Amino acid sequence: MLQDDTRQTIKFVSWVIGLIIVAFLASIAIFYYAGSRSRGNDQKVTQLATSKTPIRKIQNYYHLDRGTSSYAIAGTNNKGKQYYFIYLPNSKKAYLYPAAKGITESKIKNKFKSIHTD
């Protein structure tokens, strides 16, 4: 009788551990699949930027989707000059901007923080 109870407990615990492992693996697969589109687009934008622009070293990736998807890269050329490359996949248009003609990300963040103190 004691052996039957022990076997049932072990069987129950084994099922619970098995279900936890399956749920964990399923969540990893879901998150991996959810990010695959973004990773693919990052690779495509990187390939475009390095083949069509002077950008050789990528520093940051950006993605914006407000009705129109856009992907951007911050990077430098061989001489260290910084550029921003923006790609609009739906219209297949791309833009290259030298960073020297724009505003730095830190200035924008500081201005936003000063306006939105909460």
CATH code for the domain of 102: 3.10.450.40
Sign of the alpha-carbon dihedral angle for 63, 74, 44, 89: positive
State the pLDDT at residue 37: 66
Whether the Cβ atoms of residue 71 and residue 58 lie closer than 8 Å to each other? no
State the pLDDT at residue 36: 67
| Strand ordering across the sheet containing 57-65 | 57-65, 69-76, 82-88, 93-98
Q: How many domains does the chain have?
A: 1
State the pLDDT at residue 69: 82
State the pLDDT at residue 22: 96
Which residues of the chain fall below pLDDT 50?
none
Q: Which domain holds residue 55?
A: 2-115
- The pTM of this model reads 0.60
